[in-house]
Amino acid sequence: MFVHRVVLAVFALFSAALVARVVAIPVEAVDIKGDDEVPDGFF
């Protein structure tokens, strides 16, 4: 069914954006704390 495929695509995009946001929150927190705590070659 075409509608089912569209719903799956929208759900995949939504979940990917959600995962990207969840991953970006700790990275931003580390950046805000200060670069001297994290070594330059860490990432």
Q: Where are the domains of the chain?
A: 2-35
Cβ atoms of 42 and 35 closer than 8 Å: no
CA atoms of 33 and 25, how far apart (whole Å): 12
- What pLDDT score was predicted for residue 30? 66
Q: Tell me: the pLDDT tens digits for 1-43? A: 799 999 999 999 999 999 988 887 777 666 655 555 555 555 5
Which element (helix H / strand E) includes 24?
helix 2-33
| Nearest Cα residue to 38 out of 20, 22, 28, 25 | 28
pLDDT at 22: 83
Residue with the two structure tokens 């700790």: 26
- Quote the pLDDT of residue 5: 95
Q: Which two tokens stand for residue 39?
A: 């070594």
Please say whether the beta carbons of 18 and 10 come within 8 A.
no
